[in-house]
Amino acid sequence: MTNYDQSIDDGLAEALQASEEVFTAHYGSNFCGTVWFADGKFWEAVYVFHELQQVISAESLPDLMKAVNDKYGWG
């Protein structure tokens, strides 16, 4: 997931859903997030200056990206 062009790699959702040991990163200009799938949802732990700010969940990766970016910035 990248804010550079607001894209999510093809197959990423499926890869995350396939194993609880798989995770990925989501980078913005003002934050860094760790993304995983658990309990039927996608989750992201959002860090700003190496400090956890919030854990956000959503039903889909696009919804998660929107929720995080709406709060922490689209840049």
In a domain, 34, yes or no: yes
pLDDT for residue 3 = 80
Distance of CA 7 to the CA centre of its chain: 11
- Tell me what the mean pLDDT of segment 6-11 comes to: 90
In a domain, 53, yes or no: yes
In a domain, 25, yes or no: yes
In a domain, 4, yes or no: no
Residue with tokens 């093809």: 10
In a domain, 1, yes or no: no
| Total count of domains within the chain | 1
Tell me the CA distances in angstroms from 65 to 7, 29, 30, one per residue in order: 9, 14, 14
Model confidence band, residue 7 (pLDDT cutoffs 50, 70, 90): confident
6, pLDDT greater than 90: no
pLDDT in tens, 25-66: 999 989 999 999 999 999 999 999 999 999 999 999 999 999
Q: Which of 58, 39, 40 is nearest to 26 (CA)?
A: 58
In a domain, 17, yes or no: yes
For residues 52 and 43, the answer to whether their CB atoms sit within 8 Å is: no
pTM above 0.75, yes or no: yes
Task: Provide the residue range defining the domain that includes 60.
Answer: 12-72
In a domain, 7, yes or no: no
